[in-house]
């Protein structure tokens, strides 16, 4: 379960594009806090602090305690709008949570012990089907990530959701099947090598069969060559 990270923000009394532009000029990013049956509150966040938090990874699954005018709000980041050219944050939305809130969100999946996979050692590759898994969970039980162990997996094996240990209170949205997270697939080089080996084996088998047929043909021809001599001897003996 992820603990709440503290971030200090400022409340904004003025709204509109002019106020938002003024906040950005002062090095802050305008935003809002909404949800939990309360009024939407306008805020601004220090851009450097927001950049730092976003750069840590897992920003959208990290629980925050926002200090707004001496009050604390438990929130989850939901959206950051960025400039289409510079990627500079332009606006940020936070979802207000209560202790018993249940939310749906995407949790990233990370893979470990790739070096302990016999399939990977033989030239296989990890084919990631899902980089994230969508789950329903309580606000106080948000996992920052899931870990998939590749130990012992051969080419053709798969990691499924049942292979991942989910914290209490966390359930996958897809509940009607044991869906695949990743597989160990043969690489193109391994496929080509296997095809070459199969072709070589087939050629060797064909050569062996042709050799056997040649030997059988030589035997038949030898018998046929001897047959007239036997017939002549028989005719000579009859005439005599």
Domain extents for the chain? 5-98, 103-186
CATH topology of domain 5-98: Ribosomal Protein L25; Chain P (2.40.240)
What span, in angstroms and rounded, lies between the C-alpha atoms of 138 and 120?
37
pLDDT for the residue numbered 232:
47
Helix H or strand E encompassing 182? strand 180-186
**103-186 falls under which CATH superfamily?**
Ribosomal protein L25, C-terminal domain (2.170.120.20)
What span, in angstroms and rounded, lies between the C-alpha atoms of 156 and 186?
8
Cβ atoms of residues 149 and 113 within 8 Å: yes
pLDDT for the residue numbered 81:
96
pLDDT for the residue numbered 12:
83
pLDDT for the residue numbered 230:
52
pLDDT in tens, the chain (240 residues): 456 788 889 988 767 788 888 899 999 999 999 998 889 999 999 999 999 999 988 898 888 999 887 788 899 999 999 999 999 999 999 999 876 788 899 999 999 999 999 999 988 999 999 999 999 998 878 888 999 999 999 999 999 999 999 988 899 999 999 999 999 998 776 666 666 777 788 888 887 777 666 666 565 555 555 555 555 444 554 554
What span, in angstroms and rounded, lies between the C-alpha atoms of 7 and 45?
8
pLDDT for the residue numbered 240:
46
Looking at the chain, the number of H-run helices and the number of E-run strands are 4, 13
Cβ atoms of residues 29 and 89 within 8 Å: yes
pLDDT for the residue numbered 154:
95
pLDDT for the residue numbered 202:
80
For tokens 């001496």, what's the residue? Answer: 70
Q: Which residues pair with 94 in a beta bridge?
A: 33, 77
Q: Reduced to 3 states, what is the DSSP secondary structure of residue 87?
A: coil
* pTM, two decimal places: 0.65
């Amino acid at each position: 379960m992820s603990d709440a990270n503290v971030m200090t923000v400022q409340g904004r009394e003025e709204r509109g594009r002019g106020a938002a532009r003024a906040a950005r000029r002062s090095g802050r990013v305008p935003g809002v806090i909404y949800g939990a049956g309360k009024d939407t509150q306008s805020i601004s966040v220090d851009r450097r602090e927001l950049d730092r938090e976003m750069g840590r990874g897992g920003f959208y699954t990290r629980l925050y305690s926002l200090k707004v005018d001496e009050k604390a709000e438990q929130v989850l980041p939901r959206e950051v709008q960025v400039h289409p050219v510079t990627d500079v944050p332009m606006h940020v939305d936070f979802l207000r949570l209560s202790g018993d809130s249940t939310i749906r969100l995407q949790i990233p999946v990370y893979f470990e012990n790739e070096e302990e996979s016999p399939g990977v050692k033989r030239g296989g590759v990890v084919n990631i089907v899902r980089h994230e898994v969508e789950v329903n969970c309580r606000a106080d039980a948000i996992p920052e990530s899931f870990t998939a162990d590749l130990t012992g997996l051969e080419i053709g094996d798969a990691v499924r959701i049942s292979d991942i240990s989910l914290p209490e209170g966390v359930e996958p949205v897809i509940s009607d099947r044991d869906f695949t997270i990743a597989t160990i697939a043969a690489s193109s080089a391994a496929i080509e090598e296997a095809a070459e080996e199969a072709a070589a084996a087939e050629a060797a088998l064909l050569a062996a069969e042709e050799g056997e047929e040649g030997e059988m043909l030589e035997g038949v021809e030898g018998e046929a060559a001897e047959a007239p001599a036997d017939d002549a001897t028989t005719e000579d003996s009859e005439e005599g």
